[in-house]
Structure 1
Amino acid sequence: MHEKPSSKDAPVPATEAGVSFVMPVLNEEDYLERAVRSVLAQDVPGPMEFVIALGPSTDSTDEIARRLAAEDPRVRLVANPEADIPCGLNHAIRASIHPTIVRVDAHSELTPGYVRRALETLARTRAASVGGIMRAEGHSAFQRAVARAYNSPIGLGGASYHGGTHEGDAESAYLGVMRREVLEEIGLYDESIRRGEDWDLNFRIRQAGYRVWFDPQLLVTYWPRDSWTRLVRQFVATGAWRGELVRRYGRRNSLRFFAPPALVATAGLAVLVGALQGTRALRGAAAAAASLVYAPLALYLVVVSFSAAGRGGGPGLQDKLWTAAVLPTIHLAWGVGFIRGALVGAKDTVDTSRVSADDRPA
């Protein structure tokens, strides 16, 4: 089945019709309050509500959320016992009432004017979903390195929301400001997908004939994972679900998604060739020919080194060294997860970077 052209105009409700913000949260005590404050500070032309879907957190997230709801009547809480992001988003959307849905994330902070600009873009383009730039930032040297990887085309493959500059039709939208009527038409988020739910939702929006739009004037600050183990767990799970989406949708997935598993396969082949050469099981012309497998890895290391070094003065030496370590960590973890997901499916793979697998409900 070929992708349908984006030819249908999404409905444009009255500017003052209201906006519903939706956010799933799980173990976000360090980030939740700042994220909520950035939403409540938005200049919204009309009524607004903020529906937070609470997963079964094991930290003080629920207490913080209840305090914020008590302080501001615009904040409402709903339960998300399944803990998964798509389920939480659907719970929040179904509990909300306004015709425009703004997805927000506890690790993100909206910049001033974000919603007003998004509403103007939706009305001007008649798109069903619009998103902008994910501008990653960090506090520690490690988190800043992860942020640099996010913001670099080398890090996450150059998707428009990681640094695009030209407004226009898009494959997907980061977070997304969306028309409720279209979301209900396509059946909301697919609850069988635990990662990559945004890409899947926007793919189905495009399949239904509507436009997904990228506007680089929309900026969201994103705070990435702050430890190595959390980063690895996040990207193994993300890769596994991308592999699952490849199983479901095939080559409708962008070619950039296939780069990390290609790196993992090449690295594995290089290890095998090195072992055969070291034991003299591979000698002579055959060994020389097999050595060509090292060339793409050498080129990859050069690219990573230049990307980590940056231009001019740039970040300090510690940040550069962390970036040189973070980039291959992201690529290899994502690639390993992708291969597993593509071969056997993601199944019950869970992103445990925000919660221990032992804390998930049975």
Structure 2
Amino acid sequence: MPVLNERAYLEHAIESVLAQDVDVPTELVLALGPSNDGTTELAQRLAEQDERIRLVDNPAAHIPVGLNAAIRASRYSTIVRVDAHSELSAGYAARALRTLERTDSANVGGVMHAEGRTPFQKAVARLYNSPVGLGGGAYHGSSQEGEAESAYLGVMRREVLDEVGLFDESIRRGEDWELNLRIRQAGHRVWFDPELSVTYWPRESWIRLARQFRATGAWRGELVRRFGRRNGIRYFAPPALVLLVLLALVTGILQLTGVLGGAVSLIVSLLVYAPLALYLLLVLGVALAPRGGGVRQRLWTTLVLPTMHLSWGIGFLGGVLRGARDTVDASRLGTRNTPLP
């Protein structure tokens, strides 16, 4: 479990891990980044209370670096990746181990089920769980078991990780997708089991959400630079929306200044404004749909959905054009979380 500034979530995440009932020895290796909110002190206290918890340092604070440090320090033949912002469902580990054996897979993952406490977080969680929000990846709600492109978090055979190499430490986001690509290229199977469920708690504020999605989009753009068409077509929808918005702004300026007029202006308006109008109707439709929550949650939905798409798309375009370089998820830095009840 890589950990950075997760004081509000860490104890709940650890409890869900240690509560897993399996008939083999277990340990929990925390890779501690340089937190400034008391997370490290909390982790040390929890480690003193349970000998199954072990600590390693991750001074770089990068997720793949921390994951590799934890994997190298681990002692057992199966690696269960977990997240400090998540909670494993009861029976998760036991089910995953059975699925690994039943399907002869190298990596098994399940559903990322987002939850929220505030109206904002509930709006984000609802969109995480919707194909409209994150593009319909299997782990966002599919009920069909089978081979998969990637796996959320992942329960992995250590021997396969040793064979293909651990996480690529030059990739700050999307490192799981790239690892699973190498696993599949080596002839092994990645499997999705919808009976496996992990509760994920999204970012708690609009600015943190925008930062998270911009960074994630930048690294997907980097992955497109590196691996081209191996990336699914759904990844290109948000940058297309960004380009459409930019085109609409340019068109509007040209029309206001009289540069663009007549029949040409009408045709361009239909081509540019109509798709944007349909997108706005989609946003409103999602916000007003049944089970969309209270008024505040619905209002947040109208802001959160385009924020997710546009932030991701802007990051993606930057990642494709100049590479992700040293882009980090700034939403995880410098936080001051309040412990949950």
Establish whether TM, by shorter chain, passes 0.5. yes
Partner letter of residue 246 of structure 1?
A: V
Distance in 1 between residues matched to 2:165 and 2:287, nearest whole Å: 42
* Aligned equivalent of 2:199: 221
Partner letter of residue 113 of structure 1?
A: G
Q: Does residue 247 in structure 1 map to residue 225 in structure 2?
A: yes
* Aligned equivalent of 1:115: 93
Distance in 2 between residues matched to 1:120 and 1:61, nearest whole Å: 33
Contact 2:254/2:260, CA 8 A, preserved across alignment: yes
Q: For residues 153-192 of structure 1, what are the structure 2 equivalents within 5 Å?
A: 153-192=131-170
How far has the Cα of 1:301 moved from its partner? 1.1
* Aligned equivalent of 1:196: 174
* Aligned equivalent of 1:140: 118
Contact 2:5/2:334, CA 8 A, preserved across alignment: no
* Aligned equivalent of 1:295: 274
Q: Deviations over 1:102-129 (max 9, x none)?
A: 0000000000000011011000000000
Q: For residues 236-315 of structure 1, what are the structure 2 equivalents within 5 Å?
A: 236-291=214-269, 292-311=271-290, 313-315=291-293
Local SS of the residue matching 2:7 = coil
Q: Does residue 209 in structure 1 map to residue 153 in structure 2?
A: no
* Aligned equivalent of 2:15: 37
* Aligned equivalent of 2:129: 151
Partner letter of residue 305 of structure 1?
A: L
Contact 2:121/2:204, CA 8 A, preserved across alignment: yes
Cα RMSD between the aligned structures?
A: 1.0
* Aligned equivalent of 1:7: none
Local SS of the residue matching 2:182 = helix
How far has the Cα of 1:44 moved from its partner? 1.4
Q: Deviations over 1:58-99 (max 9, x none)?
A: 110011100110010000000011110000000000000100
Distance in 2 between residues matched to 1:195 and 1:308, nearest whole Å: 29
Distance in 1 between residues matched to 2:283 and 2:229, nearest whole Å: 27
Instruction: State, as a whole percentage, how many aligned pairs show the same letter.
Output: 67
Contact 2:2/2:32, CA 8 A, preserved across alignment: yes
Local SS of the residue matching 1:216 = strand
Partner letter of residue 32 of structure 2?
A: L
Q: Does residue 90 in structure 1 map to residue 64 in structure 2?
A: no
Runs of 4+ more than 4 Å apart? none
Partner letter of residue 286 of structure 2?
A: S
Q: Which runs of 5+ in 1 are unaligned?
A: 1-22, 358-362
* Aligned equivalent of 1:17: none
Q: Does residue 324 in structure 1 map to residue 308 in structure 2?
A: no
Contact 2:6/2:39, CA 8 A, preserved across alignment: yes
Partner letter of residue 161 of structure 1?
A: Y
Distance in 2 between residues matched to 1:130 and 1:298, nearest whole Å: 40
Q: How many residues were matched structurally? A: 334
Distance in 2 between residues matched to 1:145 and 1:118, nearest whole Å: 30
Distance in 2 between residues matched to 1:132 and 1:352, nearest whole Å: 27
Q: Deviations over 1:130-156 (max 9, x none)?
A: 100000001111111110110010000
How far has the Cα of 1:354 moved from its partner? 1.0
Contact 2:110/2:193, CA 8 A, preserved across alignment: yes
Q: Deviations over 1:248-297 (max 9, x none)?
A: 00010000000000000001001100111111110001101110211111
Partner letter of residue 119 of structure 2?
A: A
Partner letter of residue 277 of structure 2?
A: A
Local SS of the residue matching 2:40 = helix
Local SS of the residue matching 1:178 = strand
* Aligned equivalent of 2:338: none
Local SS of the residue matching 1:48 = coil
